[in-house]
């Protein structure tokens, strides 16, 4: 696995997309260069669609769920206030 900046790397099926978890930690980890130990939420990318990807994640409201994540024209994930995607963990 290799950690990549979500702002410059388009995830593929099998990669993980990760965002900091918790208001305090989100405020501290704003960009890829800020990555460090702490609380993150990661989802497994299971499908790529035009303009979005589908990812599965657990421990979301005590359930496993499918999330549709918007992507830009280059395939990079678009962060949201609830999921400020910051890293792609590339499967090698």
SS3 assignment, position 19: strand
Give the residue among 72, 76, 6, 1 at the shortest CA–CA distance from 34: 6
The pLDDT tens digits along the chain (92 residues) read 899 999 999 999 999 999 998 877 777 888 788 888 888 899 999 999 999 999 999 887 789 999 999 999 999 999 998 899 999 999 98
3-state secondary structure of 26: helix
Model-level pTM greater than 0.85? Answer: yes
Residues in a beta bridge with 5: 87
Backbone φ and ψ of 22, nearest 5°: 95, 135
Give the span between the Cα atoms of 66 and 84, in whole angstroms: 17
């Amino acid at each position: 696995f290799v950690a990549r900046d979500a702002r410059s790397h388009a995830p593929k099926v099998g990669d993980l997309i990760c965002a900091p978890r918790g208001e305090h930690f989100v405020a501290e980890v704003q960009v890829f260069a800020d990555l460090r130990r702490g609380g993150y939420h990661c989802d497994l990318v299971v499908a790529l669609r035009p303009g979005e990807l589908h990812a599965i994640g657990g421990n979301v409201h005590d359930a496993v769920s499918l999330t549709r994540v918007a992507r830009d024209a280059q395939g990079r994930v678009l962060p949201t206030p609830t999921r400020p995607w910051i890293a792609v963990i590339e499967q090698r």
